[in-house]
Structure 1
Amino acid sequence: MSREDAARVAREELADPIYGEAEPSLVERLYMWALDWLEQLMTQAGRSVPGGWWVLGPLLAVVALLVLGIILYTRPARRSRRRATVFGADTELTAADHRDLAERHAAEGRYPEAIRERMRAVNRDLEERAVITPRPGRTATELAAETSAALPERRADLYGAAALFNDVWYGDRTATAEGYGLVRDLDDALRSAVPAASTEPTP
């Protein structure tokens, strides 16, 4: 079967109504367009491209890299990483400021925002007390991992709060007063927690 026959069969198969039930994503449409364009270039390589494959080869390599870059940049894992950096570079608010905001949000029934601000309060308080190193772009999961290294007895609570935060902001979980209470209780407990190394007597 020739390339043209294969393309015709594929078009006829995709014309089946069952394929219309699922709309392709933008990335899929770009990918299919690039493949179609490359196929046309290859069939015209010997005739219409000056220099033949000496010119077409590097051009195809560049296009392939562009398509790969689009796919990698827009894949779900990368989108999640971009969204997950909720502890940004803003240094204006203290832990107390974040707690006040969290309480105001909770009083208004805005529990997603209340949970976020309380997690920010946890992060900022630990930085202010030098339990963890100040670092912009920290995620909730990274916060749990870094704090667990200094306060291993709080590991389960930290990862539980991080999972709640991620589920509320990046999943489909509904934020509740009970969920906010868990993060608030963790914040209150961590405020008096001291890393084990800090409790050892100085010789």
Structure 2
Amino acid sequence: MRFAPPLDPDAPEARRWLEAELSKTEYQAAKPTAFDQAMQAIREWLEDLLQGAGGVPAPVVQLIIVLLVAALLVVAFLVFGVPRLRRRTPPPLPLFDDGDLRDLATLRRAAESAAAAGDWPLAIEERFRAIVRGLVDRELVQVHPGTTAHAFAASAAAPFAGLAEALAAVAADFDGVRYLGRPGSRDDYDRATALERELEATRPAGAPASDAVAAAEPAR
């Protein structure tokens, strides 16, 4: 014989039934989140604060509360959201095939130091790297592992068509001192330095950065 459950439980039994019922998923999902509770607490605090303003219509009070909450959200985004976006800035790309991650200021200092010591091959190489880093930082040219000096010069000629010959000549000087053992000279270094300054002072024209991509050729 099947026995039906008691319909009149005592207090402890009723409490257990209620706790079991409220522990079900559908009830837990309906619970207010921490954000909901925080917004409700702010709303109640603002309502209590504005209760002393006699004669203010209820819709006006509600509008003031909404505006204050919106202002708080904007401030929270500015304080916490902007730094998070800044942290997502991509790291500097390596130049050519040797993983050079130095920034523009460091490359310029290295070029000047080498020139002061009369090390023209190194000075020319570092100055050319500064030229590349400057255009990459300006998002006018992109480089990839394996991009050659010649490929960079050809790509940089798109936004700086008037400097195409100078770019090709300085790229050839870079290849000469880096790969062909040429001694270089002060004139070669001065030409690269003058080109960097001219590129920095010239307003680019032509394709945007996404269309001016240096071709990835095999490294020599």
Aligned with 1:145 (options 137, 154, 162): 154
Aligned with 2:176 (options 163, 167, 173): 167
Counterparts of 1:95 and 1:157 in 2: how far apart (Å)?
20
Q: Could you say if the C-alpha distance between residues 189 and 103 of structure 1 is closer, same or farther in structure 2, counting changes exceeding 3 Å?
A: same
Counterparts of 1:95 and 1:172 in 2: how far apart (Å)?
25
Indicate yes or no: 2:199 matched with 1:178: no
- The sequence identity of aligned pairs, in percent, is 32
Q: Which structure has the greater CA radius of gyration?
A: 2
2:118 aligns with 109
User: Is the 2:153–2:171 contact (alpha carbons within 8 Å) kept by the matching residues of 1?
Assistant: yes
Aligned with 2:130 (options 118, 121, 125): 121
Q: Could you say if the C-alpha distance between residues 145 and 198 of structure 1 is closer, same or farther in structure 2, counting changes exceeding 3 Å?
A: closer
Counterparts of 2:159 and 2:193 in 1: how far apart (Å)?
20
Q: Could you say if the C-alpha distance between residues 163 and 92 of structure 1 is closer, same or farther in structure 2, counting changes exceeding 3 Å?
A: closer
User: Is the 1:87–1:120 contact (alpha carbons within 8 Å) kept by the matching residues of 2?
Assistant: no
Gaps of 5+ in 1: 1-84
2:106 aligns with 97
Indicate yes or no: 2:179 matched with 1:133: no
Length, aligned pairs only: 115
Aligned-pair CA distance for 1:194: 2.3
Aligned-pair CA distance for 1:118: 0.6
- Given residue 98 of structure 1, which amino acid in structure 2 is its aligned partner? L
Q: Could you say if the C-alpha distance between residues 136 and 89 of structure 1 is closer, same or farther in structure 2, counting changes exceeding 3 Å?
A: farther
Please report the RMSD computed on the Cα atoms of aligned residues, expressed in angstroms. Answer: 2.3
1:48-72 deviation digits (Å, cap 9, x = unpaired) = xxxxxxxxxxxxxxxxxxxxxxxxx
1:63-119 deviation digits (Å, cap 9, x = unpaired) = xxxxxxxxxxxxxxxxxxxxxx97236363111110100000111111111111111
Which moves more between the two structures, 128-137 or 104-113?
128-137
Counterparts of 1:128 and 1:141 in 2: how far apart (Å)?
19
Gaps of 5+ in 2: 1-93, 209-220
1:122-157 deviation digits (Å, cap 9, x = unpaired) = 111100001112423321101110000121111010
Match of 1:149, SS state, is coil
Aligned-pair CA distance for 1:191: 1.1
Counterparts of 2:96 and 2:132 in 1: how far apart (Å)?
8
User: Is the 2:97–2:146 contact (alpha carbons within 8 Å) kept by the matching residues of 1?
Assistant: yes
User: Is the 1:101–1:117 contact (alpha carbons within 8 Å) kept by the matching residues of 2?
Assistant: yes
2:202 aligns with 193
Aligned-pair CA distance for 1:182: 0.7
Q: Could you say if the C-alpha distance between residues 104 and 134 of structure 1 is closer, same or farther in structure 2, counting changes exceeding 3 Å?
A: same
TM-score (norm: length of structure 2): 0.48
1:72 aligns with none
Counterparts of 2:125 and 2:207 in 1: how far apart (Å)?
29
